[in-house]
Amino acid sequence: MHTTASDGTLTPTEVIELAVAEGVQVIGIADHDTVGGVAEALAAGARLGVEVVPAVELSIQNRIEKDFVELHLLGYGIDYTNPDFVAVLDRVVQARIEQKIAQIKVLQRDGIDVPVEEVFALARGVPGRPHIAQVVLARNPDRFPSKAALFREYLAEGGKAYVPRRFSLRLAEAVDLVVQAGGVPVLAHPGAYPGVSDPAAMVRRARDEAGIRGLEVAYPYDKNRPHYGASPQQVAALISQFADLADSLGLLKTGGSDFHGAGKNIALGEQGLTLEEFACFKSQWPNPKPQSGSVF
């Protein structure tokens, strides 16, 4: 789940309070490229009786590894205070900030009203394209019919304001980083990468070449590209297909809602693991040994 530390709209404490209200007992706080929300979430979780898994969602943007351009790697159970880990995240975030400023400048050059300070004030924590989109859509209501149109023309890969980051981890580096911080490296939402034509082949490569240990299986595919609007049956089919893939590759299975507050139309806990599945996953860290077929 995401908080105001990245592009979620609820603070870590608010996320925990909502989890209590919804009866969700365990949550992973996995903000984009930052652990800035973890300490607050852990404190709120201890106070309110929710188990919080310290996590991160690292964005991989590396053009050298063709199929691995723009993947998301989840690191679960990390020591979020590990100084080496935090130092690398700081570099990633700095490159992200520079990238966002460059993207905003392209929009401004095209006459679009989008003040840099307003995007960063809205972001509070680590800025992402959704923050830029929110400011652009609010200040230029007649210019773009929808967020999708803005992404298509400007912010998505191939768009006019798409700027690669000066520094980004390769997938294998991100996996090593998570492992060194005591966490379990899990490839996020394998069916939600519009640029990946063969997810099964990509996941196999991510295991063989980069060493991922798990696969995010349960995921609200109907709320994200490229399966936006999929039926419950289609979502169930995707989840079952990725569960089979994880089993066949000996990868641990995880699940999540990718909750972003009001930033995405996803309910907290809409997808995830049962407590039994979570207990099984947890029993495998910090040194998970994948076992084909035997993991929940």
Chain residues binding Zn ion by CB under 5 A are: 72, 188
| Residue number with CB closer to ligand AMP (193 or 281) | 193
Asked whether the bond before 226 is cis by omega within 30 degrees of 0, the reply is: yes
Q: Which is nearer to ligand AMP, 104 or 179 (CB)?
A: 104
DSSP string, 123-134: HSSS--HHHHHH
Residue ranges in 153-172 that form contacts with ligand AMP under rule CB under 6 A:
156
- The per-residue b/e assignment along 122-148, b for 16 or more CB within 10 angstroms, e otherwise, is bbebbbbbbbbbbbbbeeeeeebeeee
278: enclosing H helix or E strand: helix 275-282
Residue from 125, 130, 269, 288 that binds ligand AMP (CB under 6 A)? 130
12 binds, among ligand AMP, Zn ion, none (CB under 5 to 8 A by kind): none
How far is the C-alpha of 288 from the C-alpha of 265, rounded, in Å?
33
Our finding on whether 191 is near ligand AMP (CB under 6 A) is no
Which one, 86 or 156, has the nearer CB to ligand AMP? 156
**CA-CA-CA-CA torsion for 275, 229, 189, 263, nearest 10 degrees?**
-80
In the chain, at which residue ranges do the beta strands (DSSP E only) sit? 26-32, 51-60, 71-76, 184-187, 214-218, 252-255
Of 129, 189, 207, 253, the residue at the interface with ligand AMP (CB under 6 A) is: 129
Strands 51-60, 71-76: pairing is antiparallel
**DSSP for residue 69:** T
Q: Decide whether 50 or 112 has the Cβ nearer to ligand AMP.
A: 112
Determine which helix (DSSP H) or strand (DSSP E) holds 229, and give its type and residue range: none
Q: CA–CA separation, 191 vs 117, rounded Å?
A: 35
Pick 44 or 235: Cβ nearer ligand AMP: 235
Instruction: State the nearest-atom distance from the C-beta of 92 to ligand AMP, in Å.
Output: 11
State yes or no: residue 147 binds ligand AMP (CB under 6 A).
yes
Contact code string over 213-252 relative to ligand AMP, x by CB under 6 A = ------------x---------------------------
The reply on whether position 288 binds ligand AMP by CB under 6 A is no
Q: For Zn ion, which is the closer residue by CB, 72 or 100?
A: 72
Q: Can you give the binding site for ligand AMP, defined by CB under 6 A? A: 32, 59, 128-130, 147-148, 151, 156, 225
